[in-house]
Structure 1
């Protein structure tokens, strides 16, 4: 006997948007992606077995590929990954309950895409700059050099704290400068928390598609100026995942 099914909701689009015939959703085998239309809005959905756990890496990949592909041709409001409702009626209820927020978000995302700018410090260069500019840290580094860890534990802890603080301060400074430089060529931005102790930058930008080349050129210039201190990556275009919360959408 087949398990009970529900609707996995990927995102909200204008009512005239339809998925391509080869669009695949989550599940094994992948579910067929369809739309539920409600007045001027529509939801990208696929049927899922409620007894099957949702959230596997392959599911996240399918979710992102569908939304990113949609965002390349039409505005889309991503719905939080893993959102499953009981059926078509529940999808209509979702669209009706948040009609104004969805419409406002679609208007904002029209002709725009998200880009991610990430940077990670080169550890030797960062620590070298810290020691060159901080005599106390340089003295501690000299004290622990060649010493057994057990003997120099206190000094190592203090040095680690200095390095951690220096990384945080430098990260904040670099992030402020990045926002200042890219602000004129982006619509909006949001800073993500670091995912690694050496992360220098992790910022999402909403960018007008017709300014994407200009935005990329500014990022490249910024990266070139800092290539000795950090490595940088520009990721995108993708769906505007980081800008949905501004509209307080359900998901």
Structure 2
């Protein structure tokens, strides 16, 4: 979706929470900054909106309010969630977006119907150095050389080698975790990783499979807990599996 040209003033702008089928009821919970949430309808769809505050900041209560509105919509059916702090220039611009994007948005709503998003992260665990050294011939040789000729540089080299080995073990465990979890999902989306967080993947799941998925994550946490610290977050709105391309993020 693209944003049509507009001459709207700041007072016309709308804070947008998400897009849903037209037959949903307005959420009873208040929105960001305590604003009343209402539905703007167009072409068989609706957008949950409210008046934006003068300043949009990611305060905990406003983030929670944003999530509560999405949860109320999701309880009624599929929803295409917006990230926090997205606004539309005015009601006409948003209606145009819904009308022009109706076919694609409707398809995406069907794609996530009955689904939730779960996010799994995996962080490196230092692990048992002694076990690593026993298993890895190169580490054993480096450790033996360090014992024979101790010194600052030798200790640094050994420490760096062990750190690399720990990360390698964690990444190997992450691949084994994915091999178990991916078949349970409808789709997956990879997130950013680094040397410490070696696993970050979002899973689109049928809501009925959430318990089975959590059990599988717990099983993998037990199996690989000496190398990889797993955490699971959700259920979440399906942020990672929709592309609404709404109005520009608030920058006021």
**2: CA distance, partners of 1:46 / 1:182:** 38
- 1:69 to 1:155, Cα distance in 2 relative to 1, 3 A: farther
- 1:62 to 1:190, Cα distance in 2 relative to 1, 3 A: same
Taking structure 2 as the reference length, the TM-score comes to 0.78
How many residue pairs match? The answer is 234
**1: CA distance, partners of 2:190 / 2:105:** 23
Selected match of 1:44 from 45, 48, 51: 48
Instruction: Check whether the contact 1:170–1:200 (CA below 8 A) recurs between aligned residues.
Output: no
- Post-superposition shift, 1:15? 0.5
Q: Which residue of 2 aligns with 1:62?
A: 65
Q: Which residue of 2 aligns with 1:4?
A: 11
- Post-superposition shift, 1:73? 3.4
Matches within 5 A, 1:1-251: 4=11, 6-21=13-28, 23-27=29-33, 30-49=34-53, 51-125=54-128, 127-137=129-139, 139=142, 143=146, 152=152, 154-155=153-154, 158-159=157-158, 161-163=160-162, 165-194=164-193, 197-244=195-242, 248-251=243-246
Q: Structure 1: any 5+ residue segments left out of the alignment?
A: none
Report the 3-state secondary structure (helix = DSSP H, G, I; strand = E; otherwise coil) of the residue aligned with 1:222: helix
Instruction: Check whether the contact 2:139–2:161 (CA below 8 A) recurs between aligned residues.
Output: yes
**2: CA distance, partners of 1:9 / 1:213:** 31
How much is the aligned-residue C-alpha RMSD, in angstroms?
2.8
Mean alpha-carbon deviation: is it higher for 166-175 or for 216-225? 166-175
Instruction: Check whether the contact 1:141–1:159 (CA below 8 A) recurs between aligned residues.
Output: no
Instruction: Check whether the contact 2:119–2:203 (CA below 8 A) recurs between aligned residues.
Output: yes
Taking structure 1 as the reference length, the TM-score comes to 0.79
Q: Structure 2: any 5+ residue segments left out of the alignment?
A: 1-9, 247-252
**2: CA distance, partners of 1:19 / 1:164:** 53
**1: CA distance, partners of 2:73 / 2:144:** 52
